[in-house]
Amino acid sequence: MVKITRVGSSAPPDGGWGWMIVAGCFLVTICTRAVTRCISIFFVEFQTYFAQDYSQTAWIHSIVDCMTMLCAPLGSVISNHLSCQVGIMLGGLLASTGFILGSFATSLKHLYLTLGVLTGLGFALCYSPAIAMVGKYFSRRKALAYGIALSGSGIGTFILAPVVQLLIEQFSWRGALLILGGFVLNLCVCGALMRPITLKEDHSIPEKNHDHGTQREDCKQTSPYAPLTKEWTQLCLCCSLQQEYGFLLMSDFVVLAVSVLFMAYGCSPLFVYLVPYALSVGVSHHQAAFLMSILGVIDIVGNITFGWLTDRRCLKDYRYVCYLLAVALDGLCYLCLPMLQSFPLLVPFSCTFGYFDGAYVTLIPVVTAEIVGTTSLSSALGVVYFLHAVPYLVSPPIAGWLVDRTGSYTAAFLLCGFAMIFSSVLLGFARMVKKMKRTQLRFLAKESDPKLPLWTNGSVAFSVARNLDQKDEESVATAVPGCNLT
Amino acid sequence: MCSFSALRALVAPGYPLLLLCLLAATRPDLAEGDSADPSFTSLPVREEMMAKYSNLSLEIHNISLTEDARLNKKSPVQKNITLEKPSDLELICQLTASRDLNSVNVTWTKDDKLLENVFNTTKMGNTLYSQYRFIVFNSKQMGNYSCFFNGEERRGTFNIRVPRVHGKNKPLITYVGDSTVLKCECQDCLPLNWTWYTSNGSSQVPIDVHKNDKYVINGSYANETRLRVKHLLEEDGGSYWCHATFQLGESEEHIDLVVLSFIVPLKPFLVILAEVILLVAIILLCEVYTQKKKNDPDDGKEFEQIEQLKSDDSNGIENNVPRLRKNESVEQ
């Protein structure tokens, strides 16, 4: 493996090799998310071959999804400590092995282990490091880059679904799994594309900084220490962990984490229950399938256009607000859904929900990057996707139980709608509280030293910020760089 | 005759299972009766049978024909009737015409053979009704019944068939050494028996389940049947037929089995593997080449100096967040 000490750029390039990274991440998203969705095409074949019912075979899909999200922190740990390239290539090999072994399966349990656990683990090692890499290469056009990269799941599903169907017809499910294993091996190609980049604030990878020491963000200690390579190896493990996962204690991140839990709870049942709901209100099979297709295609459109939109100068500073608006609008769509009882009404619902679903999916990494910074982005994304796992697993069965108990879909949809609205309200509330706190602190600072002109001179602002440090712990990370850009 | 007493027991109400068993038991008797007596459908015997079968549910099927100058060239009207068990059938052809209906000549045929004195014709207003009522109790009564008004001028056809069996439209793909399940099912019907046949050149050879453990048949006597074939070899590929036996005849379906060796999907896999290895090698070589160019001694020091300078004003957070702070401060 090629170990590179320095690529030589100190700021995100916002282009150049960055677009190759976007292409790599796009392919990663196709090979992970789209392939996961296409696994459900195999279920009919598994049902007839192994003589099991739908719920037994559907476990494979749940296991893959759950493993991909649960092991996301593992993926970010490996890519942080080894290298992004190694991590993604390893993930590609694991996932491919899972598919190849699955093609020789003789029972459903074998498929749970190979196609479920092994492939899910492989996907987890690829997914969050690839997304984190995009964040490192872009800053100005970050949301557009994420939009293009994450649209892979929609476009991939669109293209792969008929291809997988064709493979099953030509080679039966065993041959199709083998060939899909080969396709998933392309993750290694994506891994090779992920050239490491060291940015000026990127201090946390000691293997890459052999020659000189750099100022380091302290782990809740006031005295920074000199991070020369030899000294670094002597530091305790807990300090390095604190370094990597220090963002977990940031109140901003905790709020984001809780809101992600509710948002993931709310968004997953729709893809499972839209078709049964449409059928129950009298829509035909073809029209219900068409609704799902609209959802998928508009999802892609939402990914890319919303990414482009929030990169515009007017919206760039309001990405957080755009994110919570997208989540809130999705929640509102859910609340309206029980009132939509015919196909002409469900089509605009599909379009709206699909668009904002694509929108907030694009903005999750952007918002996370805003809160924790590029250094810890990989680990933070690992944690954020990890928090998606349990709601994804738990939410469709709970919705199904509600449907069985109440006899209609209203209760399930209302619950999901309220979960998403609560998630966005929480974020909005936290942001408001933070703003009020900062206004209060600035007021206090102004009163304490009226002679100092604020925000005009870099050094003066620096000292004011220092005073603020003692009062507002979280402003340490955020207020200081603002001054330096004067 | 013993067959008639058995038939009386069959039509007794509330004994459908008994009906099935007894019918199965007496089927050979019926067949014997058929071959022994060619004039089975002669008048007195038929009337007696109709009386005995009066408890069978009546099925009425109707075809409407109109005398319309524009539709003169229209193809004959057809109606498909699916029968599984013996039934009492009434086929009605009605002709609506504006002209004088007394001169219209009505004829009925079964499979192009003329039927004599079996139908009634009534006239109501502008419509002429022709009614043919009969009992269907074995496969000889199945076929195409046509009513003709004035020869070939107007024609209606009732196609009476046993229910169709469904298998798989596309060939079933399996691999050598694997096992597979061939399935035939009949929706909304219950065949009496299922049998499987394999092809031997051009003829059908029944499959013997007891010869070895290669073939296992499950699910007989229900509306579906499964043939499980184990230890597949390439010679096992070909056509398989499933036959469903009803009281009123047989229905069959054809399934194609294709046995491939594992090399077949392995080839595309190896092609993709070669492509992946090639691409990875190219990308990594490009990276090494770019790195060598950048790590040239002349450029190296410059980069180091820039790094040194820029490392002094370290912050640790990315650049666009400060802009946010700055904007906020400007708004204050």
Model confidence pLDDT, tens digit, residues B98-144: 777 777 788 888 888 888 877 788 888 888 888 888 888 888 888 88
pLDDT band at A209 (very low <50, low <70, confident <90, very high): very low
CB A179 to CB B268 under 8 A?
A: yes
- Cβ contacts (< 8 Å) between A142 and chain B: which residues? 320
- Residue B172: name the closest of B102, B86, B106, B258 by CA: B258
As for how many domains chain B has, the answer is 2
Residue in chain B closest to A140 (alpha carbons) equals B320
Q: Do A48 and B306 touch (CB under 8 A)?
A: no
Question: Which sign does the torsion angle of CA A216, A221, A225, A230 carry?
Answer: negative
Domain co-membership, B229 together with B141:
no
Query: Which pTM does this prediction carry?
Result: 0.68
Provide the percentage of residues in chain B whose pLDDT is more than 70.
69
User: Which chain A residues contact residue B327 at CB under 8 A?
Assistant: 317
Task: Please tell me whether residues B138 and B209 are part of one structural domain.
Answer: no
Q: What is the pLDDT of residue B148?
A: 84
Tell me: the pLDDT tens digits for A354-397?
Answer: 999 999 989 999 899 888 888 888 888 888 988 988 888 888 88
CB contact under 8 A, A200 and B265: no
Of the candidates B161, B181, B207, which is a domain's last residue? B161
Check CB contact under 8 Å for A373 and B316: yes
- B304 in a structural domain: no
Helices (H) and strands (E) in chain A, counts: 22, 0
Q: Which of A35, A317, A466 to mutate to test the interface with B (most CBs of B within 10 A)?
A: A317
> The domain that contains B107 carries what CATH number?
2.60.40.10
CA distance B195 to chain A (A): 21
Compare all CA atoms of chain A with the CA of B322 and give the residue at the minimum distance: A482
Pick the closest to residue A37 from A388, A217, A296 (CA basis): A296
With CB atoms and an 8 Å threshold, state whether A317 touches B324: yes
Quote the pLDDT of residue B68. Answer: 64
Least confident of A155-164, A212-221, A299-308: A212-221
- Is residue A352 classed as helix, strand or coil in its secondary structure? helix
| Same domain, residue pair B142 and B33 | yes
State which of B106, B138, B161 marks the end of a domain. B161
Q: Which of chain B's residues have a Cβ under 8 Å away from the Cβ of A216?
A: 314, 316
Suggest the residue from B267, B304, B325, B329 to mutate for an interface test with chain A (most A CBs closer than 10 A). B325
Instruction: Please choose, from the candidates A277, A431, A270, the residue with its C-alpha nearest in 3D space to the C-alpha of residue A357.
Output: A270
For A31-72, the pLDDT digits (tens) are: 998 898 888 788 878 887 887 777 778 788 888 888 888 899
- The Cα–Cα gap between A146 and A377 comes to 14
Please state the ipTM of this predicted complex. 0.72
Please indicate, yes or no, whether residues B80 and B200 belong to a single structural domain of this protein: no
Q: Which residues of B touch A51 (CB under 8 A)?
A: 181
Contact A200 B183 (CB under 8 A): no
A259 DSSP assignment: H
Whether residue B176 sits in one domain with residue B150? no
Residues of chain B with Cβ-Cβ distance to A183 below 8 Å are 272
CB < 8 Å to B303, chain A: 6, 8
Q: Determine the average pLDDT of the residues in B87-108.
A: 81
Contact across the interface for B310 and A175, Cβ inside 8 Å: no
- Of B241, B263, B285, the residue that ends a domain is B263
In a domain, B243, yes or no: yes
B52 lies in a domain?
yes
**Beta strands of A186-341 (E only): which ranges?**
none
B195 beta partners: B243
Domain membership of residue B35 (yes or no) is: yes
Q: Helix, strand or coil for residue A118? A: helix
Residue from the list A139, A169, A181 with its beta carbon closest to the beta carbon of B318? A139
Contacts of B172 in chain A (CB under 8 A): 172
In terms of pLDDT, which residue wins out, A308 or A451?
Answer: A308
Whether the pLDDT of residue A474 is over 60: the answer is: no
Q: Position B39: which residue type?
A: S
Q: What's the pLDDT at B17?
A: 52
One domain for residues B183 and B225 = yes
Q: Residue A233, Cα to own-chain centre: how many angstroms?
A: 32
User: Tokens for A95?
Assistant: 């996932």
User: Residue B44 sits in which domain range?
Assistant: 24-161
Is residue B274 one of the residues assigned to a domain?
A: no
CA A324 from chain centre, in angstroms, equals 15
Looking at the structure, tell me whether residues B98 and B186 fall in a common domain.
no
Same domain, B149 and B251: no
pLDDT tier at B65 (50, 70, 90 boundaries)?
confident
Name every chain B residue with its beta carbon within 8 A of the beta carbon of A7.
294
Minimum distance, in Å, between the CA of residue B188 and any CA atom of chain A: 21
- CB-based contact B316 A478, cutoff 8 Å: no
- Both B156 and B179 in a single domain? no
Residue B18 domain flag? no
CA nearest A242: which of A267, A217, A270, A275? A217
Question: In chain B, which ranges are continuous DSSP H helix?
Answer: 2-11, 16-36, 43-52, 263-294, 297-312, 320-331
